[in-house]
Structure 1
Amino acid sequence: MTELTYAWTEEILSPLGETAVIIQCGDQLSDAVQRRVLSVCALLEKSTLPAMIEWVPSYTSVTVFYDPFISPYPELCRILLQQLNQMKESVQNKPRTVTIPVCYGGEWGPDLDYVASEHGLTAEDVIAIHTSGDYLVHMIGFAAGFPYLGGLSERIATPRRATPRLRVEAGTVGIGGKQTGIYPVDTPGGWQCIGRTPLRLFRPAENIPSLLAVGDRVRFEQITMQEYLALKRKEGER
């Protein structure tokens, strides 16, 4: 395990309305910035700051929601900076890797052929590229358990649909610009739908309701329709 330290300054803190402060960890997506985000979250998890209500990580920052009647903004920033400058970044050599089985194309991936045609590829090419990627979970959001995955190949990066669908089924794997992701619940959505996984990403009855967490690594594995249906039955029995 490697430990890194940083010098945090007032410039990395900024207000978000009257009840939140943004801790900026970097200005672009990268593994290094992601590690800083995770380290800040770990610090806040252990913090006894009485004014803090919750914190929400994003691609390059962490937003802390707080009660200004307990700690006004200047006082909160002073305490946060003290804690941040004592923080050590722990970098795990082997982050958790989760394999997601996907049945590509057909009714479960209606945009697969479109993505292929946009890049002068075949559907099989798109599947091969998508399943060869090593993806980092940068953020969970939009819908409960929705993972924003970085690391998509430029060869299949495709803008979102001009008109979102009114309903995208849970488990649908999509491409939105330079990212890929998985819809955890039935919801409207505008990503290019290329396949579907039988795994449930959002499990509200469990202690940890999201299958994936920020910092996880994800790999996709192609499965057949028969394998999809068999795994779907098993998921329904959980």
Structure 2
Amino acid sequence: MERSGWPRLLPQGDAALVVELDDRIDRAVSERVTALADAMRRAAVPGVVELVPTFRSLLVHYDPLMLDFADIAGRARELLAGIAVAERRLRLVHMPACYDEELAPDLAEVAERTKLTPAEVVGLHGSVDYHVYMLGFLPGYPYMGDLPEPLRLPRLTTPRVRVPPRSIAIANAMTAVYPLESPGGWRLIGAVPIDLFDIGQEPPALLAPGDRVRFERVERARFDDLRAAFMAGAAKLAVEEVAA
């Protein structure tokens, strides 16, 4: 349901429109963003170049030689009026996850700070289906919520210079998986055996805004086997379609 004063349709330069649906990070708001993006893709509006969903808005890049701001804003309003979030179908991705201490350098500290055991931290992390709010920071980096309340800790005071690719991380109300080696300030509690970004694939990002992700614990030996299988192209993730 829309709150008073929303949505806001704003120009972003002379070739993009921002459709702001709210001013808060909320799963219902994110669902509307994703539903609008889906509706725009289905409408195949001539001149629309790219759609970029974020936590609370949709950025629409368009060709100014084919459309002007009034054209694309009017089309966005029409589509917003007709979207039905409840009717959407989405992907539930079953993501193997290993919380072995070698792959989880911050797990013991997270357990200490939350007054839980490492096993309880792992159990809580895998107890919910996470919503992919958006991709950002790195190619294919999924911001996923909502992390169970007991696990919500701030970022590290001093970020790491190098975070290994495929590391599972947590910070505040979010969890994520680093697609590539990079600096990072989130707490590392495990790893997944599959690459989240591959420029040779179409699409190159494994996850997309609106997906659901369920982390399913595997032991280290199984994790190593899966990593080898994914690298060889001999394994696939289990993905099912579910109602929004």
Q: Give me the TM-score of the superposition, normalised by structure 1.
A: 0.87
Aligned alpha-carbon RMSD (Å): 2.5
Give the aligned partner of residue 238 of structure 2. none
Aligned CA distance change for structure 1 residues 62 and 199 (closer, same or farther; 3 Å): same
Q: AA paired with 2:98? A: C
- Equivalent pair of 1:147/1:182 in contact (CA under 8 Å): yes
Q: AA paired with 1:65? A: H
- Equivalent pair of 1:135/1:217 in contact (CA under 8 Å): yes
Higher mean alpha-carbon deviation, 121-130 vs 6-15, is at 6-15
Give the aligned partner of residue 34 of structure 1. 30
Q: AA paired with 1:44? A: M
Tell me how far 1:217 sits from its aligned partner: 1.4
Task: Report the 3-state secondary structure (helix = DSSP H, G, I; strand = E; otherwise coil) of the residue aligned with 1:202.
Answer: coil
Number of aligned residue pairs: 233
Task: Supply the distance in 1 between the matched residues of 2:155 and 2:120 (Cα, whole angstroms).
Answer: 20
Q: What residue ranges of structure 1 are gaps of 5+ in the alignment? A: none
Identity %: 34
Task: Supply the distance in 1 between the matched residues of 2:19 and 2:147 (Cα, whole angstroms).
Answer: 27
Give the aligned partner of residue 188 of structure 1. 183
Task: Supply the distance in 1 between the matched residues of 2:5 and 2:125 (Cα, whole angstroms).
Answer: 40
- Equivalent pair of 2:152/2:171 in contact (CA under 8 Å): yes
Tell me how far 1:113 sits from its aligned partner: 1.1
Give the aligned partner of residue 50 of structure 2. 54
Aligned CA distance change for structure 1 residues 112 and 105 (closer, same or farther; 3 Å): farther
Task: Report the 3-state secondary structure (helix = DSSP H, G, I; strand = E; otherwise coil) of the residue aligned with 2:55.
Answer: coil
Q: What residue ranges of structure 2 are gaps of 5+ in the alignment? A: 234-244
Q: AA paired with 1:197? A: V
Task: Supply the distance in 2 between the matched residues of 1:15 and 1:113 (Cα, whole angstroms).
Answer: 47
Higher mean alpha-carbon deviation, 225-234 vs 207-216, is at 207-216
Q: 1:39-96, CA deviations, whole angstroms, 9 ceiling, x for partnerless residues?
A: 21012213444443212001111011234454343443234324433x2325347632
Q: Give me the TM-score of the superposition, normalised by structure 2.
A: 0.85
Q: 1:109-164, CA deviations, whole angstroms, 9 ceiling, x for partnerless residues?
A: 10111111111112111111111122111112221221111120110111111222
Q: AA paired with 2:55? A: Y
Give the aligned partner of residue 118 of structure 1. 113
